[in-house]
Amino acid sequence: MVLPLSASLVDADQGLMQSKSTKSWILLWLLAFLWGFSFLWIRLAVRDVPPLFLAALRVSLGGAVLWFFFCVLQSKSQRFSMKLWLYAGLMGFLGNALPFTAINWGLQKADSAQAGILMATMPITTAFLAHFFANETLNLKRILGLGFGFVGVLFIFWPELQERNGESLFWHKGAILGAALCYAMNAIIAKKAPPAPQYFWAYATLCWAGIFVLPLAFGFESISPGDWTALTWFALAALTVLSTSAGTVVYFALIKEAGASFMAMINFPIPVIATLAGVVFLSEPMNSFLFLALGFVLLGLYFAQPQRH
């Protein structure tokens, strides 16, 4: 769902954004839909598939598909240092295994629309962490972004804070917000990682995540695939093949076509698409709290963006 951008890619595209081709916009919106709908697929799949097993299936199958695509079909396989593999292991845990599991657990009760908005706070949190760990100044504009993002999160949690009778839902939402924090921490680690091809991070982190999650899934959960509905199988296939594997391929195509700065715009449509998907396909409530949360988080994203010169 979220892939790290290496420092070299980001630094290579710090100029003013040029007018982009039709192909760039098509790739951007395609990726936004692939990633934005992932919350809907998780919400459907987690009804039958336990959180750990859902995370394990996603990273294992997704990693295998990406390894086949990059290393077999495109013959990009090569030797990488132990240091790179250790970084991939850390990023696989913090950027895939832990947040995927937290999102799955949270979406057992929380709405997919709420999850999409909460996950959109990741770039805002990254801007805050980067001030302390990546030498990026937390200026007034970014502070405003943090403030707007915080207000947006408050609106998501406001019903539980007011009624004091939704403790379980509070913690499920909190798990999703924690996943956004994991992604933000992972982005900081990615900035400090040694240079390596982006396709390596794509499949290596997913493979490491599978190593972490699979033993836990078999140790603490059980599954009965024969009892899964056709909708569960469809959601699982869509999550693995479309959101994870195809999304990664489109991601690299977009980076190559338009650059990292243009790619950063994807943070805006994803929460909107996730919200609309939940409301339209799952009949999730589009109340004033959700609408205000979405608006404030989008404002936070706007102000938290890195300044372009």
| Span 231-277, pLDDT tens digits | 999 999 999 999 988 888 898 888 888 877 787 788 899 999 999 99
**Angle at 186 (CA atoms; ends 184, 188), nearest 5 degrees:** 75
On whether the CB atoms of residues 115 and 156 are closer than 8 A, the answer is no
% of the chain with per-residue pLDDT over 90: 59
Say how far apart CA 202 and CA 245 lie, in whole Å. Answer: 9
| Whole-number average pLDDT of the chain | 87
The C-alpha angle with vertex 25 and arms to 23 and 26, in degrees rounded to 5, equals 65
Which 8-state DSSP code applies to residue 134? Answer: S
**Cβ neighbours for 48, distance < 8 A, ≥ 6 positions apart:** 227, 228, 229, 232
Length of the chain: 309
pLDDT of residue 307: 58
Interval 157-161 mean pLDDT: 83
Q: What is the pLDDT of residues 5-60, one digit of tens each?
A: 444 334 444 443 445 788 899 999 999 999 999 999 999 999 999 999 999 999 98
pLDDT in tens, 55-93: 999 998 888 888 888 888 778 778 899 999 999 999 999
Tokens of 26: 């098509």
277 within 8 A of 37, measured Cβ to Cβ? yes
| Predicted local distance difference test score (pLDDT) of residue 17 | 46
